[in-house]
Chains A and B, each alone.
Chain A
Amino acid sequence: MDEAPRAGTTGTAVAPADLAVELRHVHKRYTPRRSRRAPSQVVDALHDVSLSVARGEFVSIVGPSGCGKSTLLKVLSGLTPRTAGEVDFGGGTRLGTVFQQPLLLPWRTVTQNLLISHDINRRLAEHEARERAGAMLTMLGLGEFADRYPGELSGGMQQRVGIGRALMHDPEILLMDEPFGALDAMTRDQMGMDLLKIWERDRKTVLFVTHSIPESVLLSDRVVVMTPRPGRIADIIDVDLPRPRGLENINTPEFGAIVRRIRVLLNSENSAH
């Protein structure tokens, strides 16, 4: 456990049956259209990234901005095509994405926003989808806001709806791209705890991008530490803190030790480049 795996390896080996997703030697290079004359503009957002995530695992990805952590999620969700490498979804390809901004449509009520994936895919009957949306709102503590418009909700409430929207079509993997990055510290802590409760309830595989090291340690089973230029995995840290966890975990020495270890890792990588 203390023997850190070398960069580019997958960390813990995952048995194929339990595999949620595996990335093998994934590269992503951005080549701006006009950059043929200025090759310096070519950006290696992801360099030889390999990672296995088990079903039901909560994995965080931390790193400074520009380290490719958001690109990693976009490659997984198919929003950005990868340049090289393989992505293998062992546990099904139904993904739910939560973005940094809630990205609710202001002309739709909260319920209608939850139903957006239903409107696009029509996998359920209308009344089933509506029931699901109602149950989702109750779970998120937003029951009485069903027919309100996003503009009437606070930032934290809007992001709850954003999470609910991603959960509506029952995804196998939840991709979260700094979902609490736009919230203030108190709301952020609360949302983290709420997310853990949702996760402990139905154990979805979660890939959680954040730039907050404590947040990643508090929530995750494993923390993937990434460094920029080129964006690659520096190390994968196991978080063997007992669950269920709460905000009080933050003050324990074990917690502090893991946080320090990640911080040292990031600092050494930064000074090395």
Chain B
Amino acid sequence: MIRNEPAVAVVPQEPPPERVRRQVPGAVLSGGVLLLVLAAWQAVVRVFDVPEVLVPAPTEVLASLVAGLADGSLVEHSWVTLQEILVGFGIAVLAALLCAFLVTQSRVLDKALFPLIVMTQTIPKVAMAPLLVVWFGTELTSKVLTTALIAFFPLLINAILGLRSADPDQIDMLRSFGATRMDVLRRLQIPSALPHIFAGLDVAVVLSVTGAIVAEFVGATAGLGYVIQATNFTLDVSRTFAVLVILSAIGLALHAIVVVCNRKIVFWSAEHRTPTEQA
């Protein structure tokens, strides 16, 4: 009815502008810089004739990487490390979300556990790796637990912050419609927590890679961390660099998965918001 009134011309009849934004060629720029650095590195190594056991040229690293992948040894070790990362990360996610839920839902648990959580935050988790190896041996378990331990805390803190980030006015709004605590949790607090949880996931997934490598340094018979130590011992520095390339590729891939999931699931978050007009 109001629509028939000419006065309501405030409502724009034209569709809002395109959702698609013009891509800033950031990837092109940083890719170019990377290529420049690699070229400079190659040039320096060649011009000053740096020995391969000190700093190998990028081409030597590439050759070692290709050889390692071709004979399957790097693939095998990568698979071991990737398993440790994924299982450890998965355990960290489940444990952190469960703990965050308990701490935010129960005042008693919050008071009892939160100071302890903050306290354990100060322990360098890396320092726990040798203990875990002593307790659980040099097989998968100790690596998975070290990884989970390192990834757990940033995720936990972010999840707690997220579950507490719901706007109090929004809670009032839901309560004014008779929402129960469960309604508020389901319809407001969990969705509000998602952006924070994804920020935590992003940190945690990168830390998981560190966790797995550190645990392998301490005691392992396979995995990329083991390869780094072994090639260090035999002065096969090109292979060490090749492993670093694989590790950064794993980290990058995991980070990309988190980013894509974030964009799909938390589609409403600030960076995607495009108001059609100012009020």
Residues of A within 8 A of B (CB): 74, 77, 79, 95, 97, 99, 101, 103, 105-107, 116-117, 119-121, 138-144, 148-149, 151-158, 169, 183-184, 186-187, 190, 193-194, 197-198, 201
Q: What's the least CB distance linking B23 to chain A, in Å?
A: 20
Contact status A194-B8, CB under 8 Å: yes
Assess A97 versus B173: contact at CB under 8 Å? Given A154-B275, A194-B8. Answer: yes
Docked pose: A77 CA to B183 CA in angstroms: 18
Contact status A190-B7, CB under 8 Å: yes
Contact status B172-A197, CB under 8 Å: no
Contact status B279-A183, CB under 8 Å: yes
Docked pose: A187 CA to B7 CA in angstroms: 11
Contact status B177-A120, CB under 8 Å: yes
Contact status B11-A141, CB under 8 Å: yes
Interface check B136, CB cutoff 8 A = no
Interface string of B169-190 (1 = CB under 8 A from A): 1101111111100010001100
Interface string of B235-279 (1 = CB under 8 A from A): 000000000000000000000000000000001100011111111
Residues of B within 8 A of A (CB): 1-3, 5, 7-8, 10-11, 13, 16, 167, 169-170, 172-179, 183, 187-188, 191, 267-268, 272-279
Which one of A99, A154, A201 contacts B172 once the chains associate, using CB atoms below 8 Å? A99
Assess A143 versus B3: contact at CB under 8 Å? Given A105-B170, A105-B187. Answer: yes
16 contacts between A and B (CB under 8 A): A97-B176, A99-B172, A99-B173, A103-B170, A103-B173, A106-B273, A107-B268, A116-B187, A120-B178, A120-B187, A138-B3, A152-B273, A152-B275, A157-B279, A169-B177, A187-B10
Of all A-B residue pairs in the complex, the 6 with the closest CB atoms, nearest first, are A155-B279, A151-B273, A106-B268, A117-B177, A97-B176, A141-B3
Docked pose: A33 CA to B177 CA in angstroms: 28
Contact status B11-A142, CB under 8 Å: yes
Give chain B residues whose Cβ lies under 8 Å from the Cβ of A158.
Answer: 279
Give chain A residues whose Cβ lies under 8 Å from the Cβ of B167.
Answer: 103
Contact status A151-B1, CB under 8 Å: no
Give the interface SS of chain A, mostly helix, strand, loop or mixed.
helix
Contact status B275-A151, CB under 8 Å: yes
Give chain A residues whose Cβ lies under 8 Å from the Cβ of B2.
Answer: 139-141, 194, 197-198
Contact status A79-B175, CB under 8 Å: yes
Q: What's the least CB distance linking A179 to chain B, in Å?
A: 12
Give chain B residues whose Cβ lies under 8 Å from the Cβ of A97.
Answer: 173, 176
Docked pose: A153 CA to B278 CA in angstroms: 9
Assess A156 versus B174: contact at CB under 8 Å? Given A101-B169, A139-B1, A143-B3. Answer: no
Docked pose: A95 CA to B267 CA in angstroms: 32
Docked pose: A99 CA to B172 CA in angstroms: 9
Contact status B169-A103, CB under 8 Å: yes
Q: Which of chain A's residues has its CB closest to B194's CB?
A: A107
Assess A152 versus B16: contact at CB under 8 Å? Given A105-B188, A120-B177, A138-B3. Answer: yes
Give chain B residues whose Cβ lies under 8 Å from the Cβ of A140.
Answer: 2
Q: What's the least CB distance linking B175 to chain A, in Å?
A: 6
Q: Which of chain A's residues has its CB closest to B17's CB?
A: A152
Contact status B275-A197, CB under 8 Å: no
Assess A141 versus B8: contact at CB under 8 Å? Given A79-B172, A184-B279, A197-B1. Answer: yes
Give chain B residues whose Cβ lies under 8 Å from the Cβ of A105.
Answer: 170, 187-188, 191
Docked pose: A103 CA to B179 CA in angstroms: 15
Give chain B residues whose Cβ lies under 8 Å from the Cβ of A99.
Answer: 169, 172-173
Give chain A residues whose Cβ lies under 8 Å from the Cβ of B267.
Answer: 107
Docked pose: A123 CA to B268 CA in angstroms: 29
Q: Which of chain B's residues has its CB closest to A156's CB?
A: B279
Give chain A residues whose Cβ lies under 8 Å from the Cβ of B276.
Answer: 152-154
Docked pose: A119 CA to B7 CA in angstroms: 33
Give chain A residues whose Cβ lies under 8 Å from the Cβ of B176.
Answer: 77, 79, 95, 97
Give chain A residues whose Cβ lies under 8 Å from the Cβ of B177.
Answer: 116-117, 120-121, 169
Contact status B187-A119, CB under 8 Å: yes
Give chain B residues whose Cβ lies under 8 Å from the Cβ of A95.
Answer: 176
Q: What's the least CB distance linking B233 to chain A, in Å?
A: 53
